[in-house]
Amino acid sequence: MNAPTPSQLRPAHPSFREAFFYWLKLGFISFGGPAGQIAVMHQELVEKRRWISEHRFLHALNYCMLLPGPEAQQLAIYIGWLLHRTWGGIVAGVLFVLPSLFILAALTYVYLAFGDVTFVQGVFNGIKPAVVAIVVFAAWRIGSRALKNKVLWTLAALSFIAIFVFRVPFPYIVVAAGILGFIGGKVMPDKFRVGGGHGAADKNYGPALIDDDTPPLAHTRFRWSYLITLLVVALALWAAAMALLGNPVLQDMGEFFTKAALVTFGGAYAVLPYVYQGGVEHYQWLTGTQMIDGLALGETTPGPLIMVVSFVGFVGAWTKAIFGLDALLLAGFAGASVATFFTFLPSFVFILAGAPLVESTHGDIKFTAPLTGITAAVVGVVLNLALFFGWHVIFPRATEAAPFSGGFEWFYALISVAAFIALWKYKQDIMKVIGACAAIGLVHTYIV
């Protein structure tokens, strides 16, 4: 009888150290948004290392897609928890965003301190139109997946009208869409019955450590004592962090980004209008133009795109000079850290509290009718965001009182159109499109 090959043997359980360095590596290479990040994890964890089977990977992912927050980071927390209990989940989730925090903080400092330099301006002049194309592409991508019938198209149109015409705050749109989805699921279930986001497993890469038939480990069983302890610790951490924020600007950031974390259904693009409404219009931490620049930086760094909140926190604390004019860098990093902590804390709670319940059954999790309604509404919200960014790029000197004044920037409009075609028709990588647009913008800035 032939001995089994390595691909036929169940892999050994990774040590905590081995997992630690994998999650750290992932934090530095997680480019490409949630789709790219999930693809990287699937290739490494399912296909190569076989720490988890295809079915169990998708089962966990479908749960993460039901939650507010960045699903790729939440998936890392889930798998880290399966492998090494609570601390494994915490380490996986923290390392997924920690490199991005330091990289984005450094880039934001360069942006604020040297933003008037022609070279930096030229690069951003090219990246901004690319961002417009990326957001339009995101609206198309979400819409093509979510809007399967006229009812959902109508819901998307209503959400666009609500935020574009009537300036309805994003959380209200989420709540209203969820209620309409719940009612629609009762009245016309066929219109709101949408399957899980990633289907079922149909591939086998060999025996996995956490396989379809693996008996549930002791720590994955639901326990009321664990749930209560987790919630108490999380609330204590949140309260202690808020109490330590002596500066009123940082306190406002703590409260605001906690709320933002709870309404991030549909990914970062969906919550950006809410962050804009709060950061630009209400608190005036930054300008609309700076918000676009922040999204451009977020697109070029590893980690979840929602890490743009750290840019908002950095610029807000810097602008308000919370520690005085001699400590702007320290203020900026404090703001970025506060925004990051309060944005991602709920993700850990959602996964560590809910995962034991999810593990009690391995049946595929389906999108609920309320989530279907919310996802449809997100399309309208993202389209509004695209129009807002496009307006700032193509009419940079216009105002709300005179929205088409100051001249039309035809060159940047052409860059946006070309970038969208590259993404949509030719399926080009986002990082390549951004790099090409940055080079074009740089050349154009020096020529003109």
Residue-wise pLDDT for 106-126, tens only, equals 999 999 988 777 887 888 888
The encoded tokens of residue 162 equal 């609500």
Rounded-to-integer distance, Cα 115 and Cα 19, Å = 39
More confident residue, 200 or 312: 312
pLDDT of residue 267: 63
pLDDT above 50 for 1: no
pLDDT of 199 over the 50 cut: no
The rounded distance, in Å, linking the Cα atoms of 109 and 383 is 30
The stretch 290-311 carries a mean pLDDT of: 86
For the segment 386-392, the average pLDDT, to the nearest whole number, is: 83
Q: First and final CA of the chain: distance in angstroms?
A: 75
Range with lowest mean pLDDT among 66-70, 152-156, 304-308, 340-344: 66-70
Look at residue 155 and tell me whether its pLDDT is greater than 90: yes
Across 283-303, average pLDDT: 86
Rg for the chain, CA atoms, rounded? 22
pLDDT tens sequence across 5-17: 555 688 999 999 9
pLDDT of residue 31: 65
Cα distances (angstroms) measured from residue 194 to each of 4, 178, 418: 42, 14, 33
pLDDT bucket at 146, cuts 50 / 70 / 90 = confident
pLDDT confidence of residue 389: 78
Residue 275: pLDDT above 70? yes
Instruction: Let me know if 227 is exposed, middle or buried by CB neighbors in 10 A (0-12, 13-18, 19+).
Output: middle
Averaged pLDDT of the chain: 85
Q: How far apart are CA 43 and CA 37, in angstroms?
A: 10
Looking at per-residue confidence, does 429 or 367 come out higher?
429
Chain Cα centroid distance, residue 8: 36
pLDDT of residue 144: 78
Question: pTM for the whole thing?
Answer: 0.76
Per-residue pLDDT for 217 more than 90?
Answer: no
Report the pLDDT value the prediction gives residue 22, as an integer from 0 to 100: 94
What's at 87, amino acid-wise?
W
DSSP annotation of 401 reads S
149-186 b/e (C-beta count within 10 Å ≥ 16 → b): eebbbebbbbbbebbbeeebbbeebbebbbebbbebbe
Nearest to 94 by CA among 113, 118, 77, 115: 77
* Amino acid 365: pLDDT: 35
pLDDT score, position 201:
46
Highest mean pLDDT among 275-279, 314-318, 374-378: 314-318
As a whole number, mean pLDDT of residues 308-335 equals 95
Which of 69-73, 159-163, 252-256, 330-334 comes out lowest in average pLDDT? 69-73
**Tokens found for residue 116:** 């008037």
> Band of the pLDDT at 32, cuts 50, 70, 90?
low
